[in-house]
Amino acid sequence: MIPKTAKKREPFFWFTVSCGIVVMVFILLPLIELVTGPSLSMLGETLNDPDVMRSVGLSIYTAGAAALISFFFGTPLAYLLARTNFRGKRLLESIIDLPIVIPHPVVGIAFLSVAGKNHLIGQIMYELGIRLMGSVTGIITVLTFVGLPFYINTVRDGFEAVSPRLENVSRSLGASMFGTFFRVTFPLAWRTMVIGFIMCGARAISEFGAVVIVAYHPMTAPVMIYERFEGYGLKYSQPVAVWLVTICLLLFFVLRMLTLSKTETA
């Protein structure tokens, strides 16, 4: 709390403020520099470049798909983690967090080794015509991998915030577990599901390391930024970066709006 009275502030207060300013500048300066770098005509030109729009579209599509998959498989697991205690729960939670700490290229390599022809699963996938290497499926797979923890952790916290007593009362009034979930738990936790969805999507859309291993083509926006930087230099990669950042900021904005309206109603 910042004291509102005019009494003399402690040196510690000024220390915390200065550190805060350093952090703000560190985050905002490069981003502002990036956004203001390219001219409007260049931004417009990039917008009309079908390759750029295709890659940004692919990024949104694959990240959205990853978030959707996380929603389907992550929600029940998040509920389980929020409501039950069992032996090995800590271990399970650590496993869920693994994708956060594993270096991203390693993720790509790990998936390719499962999908390789010397692996049983790889052979089955080959028979079924499913390819990870160089495919949209591959991109969605690694994006789900990196995004899943963000979804599960967010939603688990959301479920934990719903008192189990509400569910108990609902059951005692005659509702089944399903009825209870859809009439009590879901209406109280859906906001965190949306937030989890966005967190997962935002994480997925920024993924480069794992994607570039699994699929250089079709090209997602981060890979395209990398390619333009390598091939033509900073000036040509900037406009694509600006468009990607705009989208990420948009996602972030929606996220903040939702969290704010949540604290208002609570």
| Type of residue numbered 260 | L
Work out how close the CB of 154 gets to another protein at its nearest, in angstroms, rounded to a whole number.
Answer: 20
Of the chain, the end-to-end C-alpha distance in Å amounts to: 22
Of the residues 23, 25, 47, 169, which one makes contact with another protein according to CB under 8 A: 169
Give the C-alpha distances (Å, rounded to integers) separating 20 from 6, 216, 221, 249.
21, 39, 32, 21
Stretch that binds another protein, among 20-28, 66-74, 144-152, 181-189 (CB under 8 A): 181-189
Q: For another protein, which is the closer residue by CB, 194 or 224?
A: 194
Work out how close the CB of 54 gets to another protein at its nearest, in angstroms, rounded to a whole number.
Answer: 42
Residue 90 near another protein by CB under 8 A: no
Residue/partner pairs of 125-133 with CB below 8 Å, 24 or more apart = 132/214, 132/215, 133/214, 133/215
Q: For another protein, which is the closer residue by CB, 180 or 238?
A: 180
Residue 258 near another protein by CB under 8 A: no
The contact mask relative to another protein for 97-136 (x = CB under 8 A, - = no) is ----------------------------------------
Helix (H, G, I), strand (E, B) or coil at 62: helix
Q: What is the DSSP string of 175-232?
A: --HHHHIIIIIHHHHHHHHHHHHHHHHHHHHT--HHHHHH-SSSPPHHHHHHHHHHHH
Residue 88 near another protein by CB under 8 A: no
Helix (H, G, I), strand (E, B) or coil at 14: helix
Residue 36 near another protein by CB under 8 A: no
Residue 82 near another protein by CB under 8 A: no
Give contact residues for another protein (rule: CB under 8 A). 85, 163, 165-166, 168-177, 179, 183-184, 187-188, 266
